[in-house]
Chains A and B, each alone.
Chain A
Amino acid sequence: MMDVFPYLVAGWVFLTGCYGLATSRNLIHAVGCLSVCQAGTYVLLLAVGYRDGATAPVFSDLKPGSRPVVDPVVQALTLTDVVVGATVTALLLALVVQISKRHGTVDPDELSELRG
């Protein structure tokens, strides 16, 4: 069970975020759901890199080779994405603010009615 449980949690988090995105009635809420989706990918990546009984891949207070370490590559991928993802969230929010100025609403359903 423990072999796949973390992967399943990552999938659950991702799909919940997708569901929220599709049913959201407010674009700001939708942006929040998108960051939940992102969190799912972080959990998956770090779960793939984990190794039982290992420690963090930082050798400032650890003699190299004395203990196994977890996979640093997936951690580096996740780390950059956490910060870059936040700025992309900011860009999306700027778009939402702009939409609310132009159309006076942030409900996706009302917006598509306006266009149609």
Chain B
Amino acid sequence: MSRRARLWLVAVGGAGLAALFVAAALDLPAFGGDHHPYGDRAVHAALTRRTANVIASVNFDQRAFDTLGEMTILFAAVIGCVILLRRTHDEHRGRPAPEKVARPVRRYSLLVLPVALLTGLYVIAHGQLSPGGGFQGGVVAATSLHLLYLGADYRALERVRPVALYETGDAIATSAYVVTGLAGLIGGSAFLANTVLPYGTFNTLSSGGTVPLLNAAVGMEVACAVVVLLARFLDQTVEIEEGNGK
């Protein structure tokens, strides 16, 4: 298709979509309205199960099966990246020379690293109480490790990050989620039902039944997944070079 024809197609399709969207938006309940039947029921369910952060309750209790689906997408995407970005036989591995890092950059990134890592772990651990949880904390913890690349060099990063270990961790975390779900099944109710553990006291770390367990599993999976992904991309840009036999 020529560029011109494609542009016309986009213009016509986009105009149609825009018209339908505006018509739909005019018919939606007004922004900021007071009628949220699903939201109110979700809040009620979370409070009866003593989970202070309703969003964690929705993710890991009321819609835990949906989150299993999301985790599967995440896992599949990571496997796809690992396969697509592996070293092929006509490429060879170069040894990147250590580069000089400006002093303030080194000092501040090494200073911020432990703080960022700790923040990430804190956000994971308090997922069922305060804003945060496995998804956000996992990303923060994983990206914080890469401050080492900024502050020191690639080899220092490689030493603290054995990729195989994180790949295993990713798989273990995914299975942990499924096993917790199966425990619900064995415990006499349904898959991923939150009936196995006592709900505990409202607003403490152990409240919410299986919510903290599933939250921790997701945190571990996301952290491992991000580390593996970044490792593969860094590998491609920093280490792997084209073979000359093309």
Contact = CB atoms under 8 A, between A and B. Distances in A.
Query: In the complex they form, do A and B come into direct contact, defined as C-beta atoms under 8 angstroms apart?
Result: yes
B59 A51 contact: no
Nearest to B3: A109
A110 to B, nearest CB: 12
Interface string B127-161: 00111010110110000000000000000000000
A80 B221 CA distance: 13
B77 A69 contact: no
Interface stretch (B78-86, B114-122, B177-185): B78-86
Interface string A17-59: 0110011000000000000000000000001111110001111
Contact of A58 (B6, B7, B131, B139): B131
A114 interface: no
Contacts of A22: 6-7, 9-10
B52 A83 contact: no
B87 to A, nearest CB: 11
Contacts of A75: 55, 58
Interface residues of B, number: 62
A interface, over-half SS: helix
Interface stretch (B99-107, B187-195, B229-237): B229-237
A56 B53 CA distance: 9
Contacts, number: 164
Given A56-B131, A91-B77, A80 B31 contact: no
Interface in B1-34: 3, 6-7, 9-10, 14, 17-18, 21-22, 25-26, 28-34
Contacts of B22: 8, 11
B interface, over-half SS: helix
Contact of B43 (A60, A69, A83): A69
B29 to A, nearest CB: 8
B47 A58 contact: no
Contacts of A80: 59, 66-67, 70, 135
25 contacts: A3-B30, A4-B25, A4-B30, A4-B31, A7-B25, A19-B14, A48-B28, A51-B36, A51-B39, A57-B39, A57-B43, A57-B54, A59-B54, A59-B203, A60-B53, A68-B34, A69-B54, A71-B42, A72-B55, A76-B59, A87-B74, A94-B80, A95-B84, A97-B85, A97-B236
The 6 A-B pairs with the shortest beta carbon distances in the complex, nearest first, are A71-B39, A7-B25, A3-B30, A52-B32, A76-B58, A57-B54
